[in-house]
Amino acid sequence: MLFEVVTVDPPPQIKLRCQRTPAARDPSPKIADQGGNYLKECGRQGLLRLYELVLEDGTAISPYAWRTRLALERLRLPFVAAGVGFTEIKTIGEGQFATVPVLQDGDLFIADSWAIVKHLDGRYGGGNLLGSTRDQNMIRFFDSWCRHRLLAPLTRICVLDIFARLRPADQAYFRQSREARLGATLEEAVADRAERVVDFRRELEPLRAGLSEEPFLGGAEPTYADFIGVAALIWAGSVSTIQLLEPDDAVLAWFRRCLAFVGGMAPKLTPRSSLAVIS
Amino acid sequence: MLFEVVTVDPPPQIKLRCQRTPAARDPSPKIADQGGNYLKECGRQGLLRLYELVLEDGTAISPYAWRTRLALERLRLPFVAAGVGFTEIKTIGEGQFATVPVLQDGDLFIADSWAIVKHLDGRYGGGNLLGSTRDQNMIRFFDSWCRHRLLAPLTRICVLDIFARLRPADQAYFRQSREARLGATLEEAVADRAERVVDFRRELEPLRAGLSEEPFLGGAEPTYADFIGVAALIWAGSVSTIQLLEPDDAVLAWFRRCLAFVGGMAPKLTPRSSLAVIS
């Protein structure tokens, strides 16, 4: 039961992750003890399970779930990825959730990505991922900025790309809810995206300023602020059929540095998005 | 010579500040030792002097100088405020500066507000104002955001109010340089400011998120991030003839908290700006 995967057609790399243990990896000394403690907890309470939205082909497609995935990887916490469609969210737990991600830790179900990372960092990470309350104030500022300057414009750029790759059962719900939110049909919303993507890149200037002196917002290592931004780009880059960033953008270099640092992450980025690493 | 004030018509509260010593105030224990060290430096090297832009009536009118003033006050460092007009900047030092603020510390002249605060915090503040390199990355992010979401819109809202209160000798230069930058006459730039101020308030959402849990971005006490934002509001609030913030805005409460915390600051805010404390 511990390793049951409830996702429909889980992609291969997620199955693999479920079988991996921290011992097989190269954990940083700081987090290793927390990982060890975690494993004891696991034996008592069951493995962590992350409920998240997936597309028809199993690709994880929520920026809020991706930030949780990055936090789990950073903390070397093995987890079961439980993919659900939009219309299956009501099947999680006892049906008390309206959004994902939802984290199941033993008998505990936690909704909301901020509550989840507070739980994970407090219980398993020694508080290093979120830092001081001052750090957390600035992360909340950054998170709100990301909603306005990453998630909102990227939605208008990529919403039709997402729709095209949803499970058929989710498409009607998605079209109706998103068109009501956007005040336009999905096709109208993306009609001027060639200009919107130029605006989007220009508005990233504060992020470039924050990255002008050190590799990550967190300094020599990424913290949750970095993950919030990177998760938004993974989300859009997983579906986008338009180039999101210029090749020489410092934001792109940071995005790739974060993925390389965290390791274990294998987001399936579209070649057209410009975010995929050319190998 | 130490207390020479080079400003033309310095406002009374600036003259008063020059005569005050840290001992007459209620310094926080953390900074007091640094202040003590500073006084010894003073005896050797001469008093700090801050060159800054002033209006016809002596009001300090640069957001970059105001952040330096707030830092000086927070560090309990007495200083001489040396007000200059736009067309007098070339008289500072040996004529090597194109912008203010410029800080003179003994024989050392330092331009650029970021270089100034690095100097002040490193030499007299024990690094507490800027914090870790991680803190500084986030401050750089916040600083860039303030340029885009505070300074740029507030310029288009207040540029004619500034012009009207400049020294006559500065008006031609100001009109020419600002109209070139804005791509419009000053009158055209402010024509739609009633709508712009609504947009301006809406775009402050990330700042409200950053302030949702603690009194200051810096936590229980303001840090340089807080001062960057507050300085921009002081600058605009010193001239604005339009209401900038709604009375119940968390940003307004934070602005007033910062001024009260720092103490000693007496910006001459216009009643119409909505920023002045109603006494």
pLDDT tens, position by position, A126-179: 999 999 999 999 999 999 999 999 999 999 999 999 999 999 999 999 999 999
Give the model's pLDDT for residue A19: 29
Mutation site, B134, B202, B204, B214, interface A, largest A CB count within 10 A: B134
**Closest residue on chain A to B207 (Cα):** A141
The candidate with the shortest Cα–Cα distance to B238, out of B101, B59, B67, is B59
Give the model's pLDDT for residue B276: 83
pLDDT, tens only, B10-44: 333 322 233 233 333 333 323 323 333 443 344 34
Distance from CA of A170 to the nearest CA of B (A): 32
**Closest residue on chain B to A133 (Cα):** B219
pLDDT, tens only, B195-249: 999 999 999 999 999 999 999 999 999 999 999 999 999 999 999 999 999 999 9
**Closest residue on chain B to A222 (Cα):** B134
Range in A82-96, A213-227, B43-57 with the lowest mean pLDDT: B43-57
Chain A residues closer than 8 Å to B214 by CB = 133-134, 137
Give the model's pLDDT for residue A14: 29
Contact A137 B206 (CB under 8 A): no
Give the model's pLDDT for residue B97: 95
DSSP string, A118-176: HHHHHHHSTTTTT-SHHHHHHHHHHHHHHIIIIIHHHHHHHHHHHHHTS-HHHHHHHHH
Give the model's pLDDT for residue A47: 85
Give the model's pLDDT for residue A276: 83
Non-local CB neighbours of B122 within 8 Å, separated by 6+ positions: none
| Residue in the block written with tokens 């100097």 | B119
Task: Supply the ipTM of this predicted assembly.
Answer: 0.83
Integer Cα distance of A41 and A47 in angstroms: 9
Range in A99-113, A255-269, B90-104 with the lowest mean pLDDT: A255-269
Are the CB atoms for B240 and B163 separated by under 8 Å?
no
Are the CB atoms for A223 and A135 separated by under 8 Å?
yes
Contact B144 A225 (CB under 8 A): no
Which of A133, A210, A214 is closest, CB to CB, to B219? A133
Chain A residues closer than 8 Å to B143 by CB = 209
Contact B210 A140 (CB under 8 A): yes
Chain A residues closer than 8 Å to B203 by CB = 148
Contact A138 B207 (CB under 8 A): no
Helical spans, DSSP H, in chain A = 12-19, 29-45, 63-74, 113-124, 133-146, 152-164, 168-182, 186-189, 193-202, 205-210, 224-237, 250-262
Give the model's pLDDT for residue B278: 59
Distance from CA of B223 to the nearest CA of A (A): 10
Give the model's pLDDT for residue A265: 73
Give the model's pLDDT for residue B46: 59
What does the block give as tokens for A167?
Answer: 């499970």
Give the model's pLDDT for residue B24: 33
On the question of pLDDT at A256 being above 50, the answer is yes
Give the model's pLDDT for residue B263: 81
Integer Cα distance of B63 and B228 in angstroms: 8
Residue B126 φ/ψ, nearest 5 degrees? 65, 15
Q: Is A254 exposed, middle or buried (0-12, 13-18, 19+ CB in 10 A)?
A: buried
**pLDDT-based confidence at residue A263 (cuts at 50, 70, 90):** confident
**Closest residue on chain B to A144 (Cα):** B206
Chain B residues closer than 8 Å to A148 by CB = 203, 205-206
Residue B173 φ/ψ, nearest 5 degrees? -60, -45
Domains in chain A with CATH codes = 3-125 (3.40.30.10), 133-278 (1.20.1050.10)
Contact B211 A143 (CB under 8 A): no
What does the block give as tokens for A151?
Answer: 């998630």
Across A13-29, average pLDDT: 32
Across B101-109, average pLDDT: 95
Average pLDDT of chain B?
85
Chain B residues closer than 8 Å to A131 by CB = 134
Chain B residues closer than 8 Å to A144 by CB = 205-206, 208-210
Which of B143, B205, B208 is closest, CB to CB, to A209? B143
Distance from CA of A43 to the nearest CA of B (A): 36
Q: What is the pTM of this model?
A: 0.84
Contact A210 B132 (CB under 8 A): no
| A–B interface: beta-carbon pairs under 8 A | 97
Contact A137 B208 (CB under 8 A): no
**pLDDT-based confidence at residue A278 (cuts at 50, 70, 90):** low
Chain B residues closer than 8 Å to A205 by CB = 144, 148
Give the model's pLDDT for residue A50: 96
